[in-house]
Amino acid sequence: MKDTVSKAAFSSSTLLSGRGALHMAQILLSVVTFVLAAFRGGSSHTYWNYAMFTWAFCPIMTLIITIIELYKLDIILNMFCMDWSDFMAMSSTLMTVSIAITYANFYACLTCLYGLIVSIFAFLCGFVYTLEVVKDKLLDKRKGSYLAALPGFWKVMEAFVSCMILISLTGYTDKPVLILCVIAYAIPFPILPVIIATNILKKLKECLPFNVDRFVFIFLVVSVVLYIFAAIMWPIFMFRNNPRPSDCPPSFCVWAIQFMVAFMTYVNLILFTLDLVFTLLDIWGFKRT
């Protein structure tokens, strides 16, 4: 422990490395995109709020990671955590890429020059975050444990899709069955970050009084059942006698948002089902590659 702590010291070489340069580009592009979008004007739309949150949250976390690595505090953190920086890189990539596509869909058009400029910076921001993940995994062949394997990757994807579903929900309050669908979406969502954190924090996992793998299996079974219910009920009760409006604009349409919820429900159902299948394969003695 003392030997590890003694290795923690300030090192300016971090900023001069390729990883440091990527971090600086990520922070700069995120801040510029945030400022441009803020000057464009606010909106009550949930996607705009999520976009502003993404372009504020990601550079702050990148800055924190850069400072930690600058003082080599990651040596100490690695004693207790697994792939903490890998997790943030993957999460930031998912957030920035998805919001770039969403923002362009809602606010960019041939006659909307300012929205088009913001969208270009948004895609550049998503690109530099994606570049870090590609660099770590393919070019540098940086190995990870939980988050680099299928279980961790799927959990991050499931949490992300769940988040997108929850911020897209609209037009359900007058139908009790759709409220049950919202509850089905909400139940797995807060548990996913707990599972991810438990597998990242090695010390915490060892201290828990129950078997984490067994809990994850039960959680996946319940999640698949909940998403099967939502995958059946949401399209039936949302789109029955509710065809797509003829005047539904391509950039913003409540019906289109409701359709997106249905589409992402099936995406998450597939993710949870695959996760459950591979978990069963592990239980019966098969090994993931």
Residue owning tokens 């909940």 = 226
- pLDDT score for 6: 47
pLDDT at residue 1, rounded to an integer: 46
pLDDT of residue 234: 94
What is the model's pLDDT at position 29? Answer: 95
Q: What is the residue whose two structure tokens read 């309050």?
A: 173
Any residues with CB less than 8 A from the CB of 244 and at least 6 apart, and which?
A: 255, 256, 259
Report in angstroms the alpha-carbon separations of 22 from 2, 28, 110, 127: 32, 10, 31, 10
Domain layout of the chain by residue ranges: 1-147, 149-289
User: Tokens in use for 163?
Assistant: 């988040």
At 2 the pLDDT is 46
CA within 13 Å, CB half, 233: 18
Query: What are the structure tokens assigned to 191, written together?
Result: 């548990």
Rounded to whole angstroms, the Cα distance separating 261 from 264 reads 5
The values of phi and psi at residue 81, to 5°, are: -120, 160
Tracing tokens 């994850």 back to the chain, one arrives at 216
pLDDT of residue 90: 78
Amino acid at 109: C
Tokens of 209: 């009084």
Bridge partners for 109 per DSSP = 112
User: Using alpha carbons only, how large is the chain's radius of gyration in Å?
Assistant: 21
pTM equals 0.68
* Contact predicate 193/160, CB 8 Å: no
For the chain of 289 residues, list the mean pLDDT of each consecutive stretch of 10: 47 67 92 90 72 92 85 62 67 85 76 86 93 74 62 83 85 87 94 84 67 87 96 92 71 75 91 90 58
Give the closest residue to 199 by CA, choosing from 219, 224, 222, 223: 219
Instruction: State the Cα–Cα distance between residues 178 and 27, nearest whole angstrom.
Output: 40
Residue 141: predicted pLDDT: 58
**pLDDT of the residue at 160:** 84
Under 8 Å CB-to-CB from 198, ≥6 apart: which residues?
A: 204, 205, 208, 212
